[in-house]
Amino acid sequence: MKKVTIFTANLNYGGISKSVCSLANVLCERYNVEIISVYKLTEKPVFNIDDKVSIKYLIEDIKKDSNSNCLKKIINKNKLLKLENKMVTEAIKECKSNIIISTAVAFNTLLGKYGSKKSYKIGWEHNHHHLKVDNINKLVASTKDLDKVVFVSNYLTKWYTREYKVRRMALKAIYIPNFIDGIPPLKSKLNKNNFISVGRIYKEKGFIDLVKVFKVMHDFNNSVHLDIIGDGNEFEKVNKLIKVHKLEKAITLHGFKDEKYVAKMYQNSTIYLMTSYTESFGLTLIEAMSYGLPCIAFSSAEGAIELIEEGYNGYLINNRSIDEMARVALGLLENKEKLSKTSAGALETAQKYGKDIVKQQWFDLLEKK
C-alpha cells in the first residue's frame, strides 16, 4: 500500500485543519496515511480523524494559545520560526512517502528543496492572494519544484494556470474543492427565526460586523435570534459588543463545539450569515447548505462568490453594507416562498461537494501521476 504524508501547521480550529482531517479520512481508504503537524495545540485533534491515520507532532513542548495564537511559553519569534523551519526540514528529509502533500507556502519551499526525488510532491493551497503581488510571487516561487498544486478555488486555479503559463512554468494547477461528508438526513424545517454563523472568531471573519448587522435586524424584529459558534482572539470583543447593544438574550455565543452539536444547531436554524472579509472557499457555507439553509454573505469573501448564486441558494451583499445585509436577511425570513426556493437551491449546491464526488478527484490526481 502506498503511503501519503500531509504536512500541516496544526490540527486545531480552522478550515485548513478540518480539510486536512477530512482528506486524511478519505485517503486512508486506499493509502497508508500520515499527518505531520508542526504544533500540538490540543491534547487531541479538534476534528475527527480515522484511527487508521497516524499523527506525528514536531513541536510539543512549545504550544500556542488556541484563542489568542500567542505563545504560552515565552520565546523569541525569530527563534521559533527557525525551530519550525529546522523541524520541518528534518521531517521532509526523512520522509520517504510515495506522496507528500504540503499545506503552506513555507512547507512548499522546503518540500521542493529537500523532498525525495522519488516522492510525488503536491502543494495544497487554501489562501487567496487578494491581488497582492507579494502573495502571488511567494506562492509561485514556493511551488516551482513541486509536481502539482491543488487549489480549493476555481478562480485561483484559473489565475495561477495563467500565471504559470506567463512565467513559462510547466507546473499544473488543479482544482479540487473542499468537501462535506454528505447530505445529512435531518434538514432544517425553516420554521424558526434563528440565524447562525460558524467559524473562528478572528478579525478577518468579521464577527464584529455580524453583531452590527444583527442589531439592525433586531431593531426591526425583536423575535429573531442569532447563534455564533466558534472561538478565537476576538471572542471577548464580540461578547462585549453584544452587551453594549443589550443583545445578550438575542445572541448566543456558544464557543467552539463538536460536529454533532453544530449539526443540531444547523437543524434549528433558518438562514446562515457570513460576514468574513475574506474566504478562499467557505466550507461552512456548504455545510449550512447541506441542511437546507440559504446563505447570505458579504461579497468581500471571495469563496462566497463561487458558491452563492443570487436568489438561487442565497444572496451576496456588496460593499459590506450592514443595512443591506440586515434588510435582505429579514426579507428572506419573512418571504416563505423565497425561503423555500433558496433552501432547495442550497441543497442542490451542497450535493456537488459531497465526499464521494470530491474524493474521486483526489484519487484520480494521486493515481495518474
Q: Work out the pLDDT band at 281, boundaries 50, 70, 90.
A: confident
Fold of 194-351: Rossmann fold (3.40.50)
Residue with cell 434538514: 187
Q: Work out the pLDDT band at 154, boundaries 50, 70, 90.
A: very high
The domain segmentation of the chain, as residue ranges, is: 3-179+354-367, 194-351
**In this predicted structure, what is the pLDDT of residue 63?**
54
For the entire predicted model, the pTM comes to 0.90
CA distance 298 to 197: 13
Buried b (16+ CB within 10 A) or exposed e, 1-20: eebbbbbbbbbbbbbbbbbb
| Domain 194-351 in the same topology as domain 3-179+354-367 | yes
Interval 301-323 mean pLDDT: 96
- Altogether, the residues listed in the chain come to a count of 369
Class of the domain covering 3-179+354-367: alpha beta
DSSP-derived secondary structure for 35-79: EEEEE--SSS-SS---TTSEEEEEE-SS-B-TTT--BSS---HHH
Interval 51-71 mean pLDDT: 71
Q: Work out the pLDDT band at 73, boundaries 50, 70, 90.
A: very low
Q: Work out the pLDDT band at 67, boundaries 50, 70, 90.
A: very low
CA distance 212 to 155: 30
CA distance 177 to 172: 16
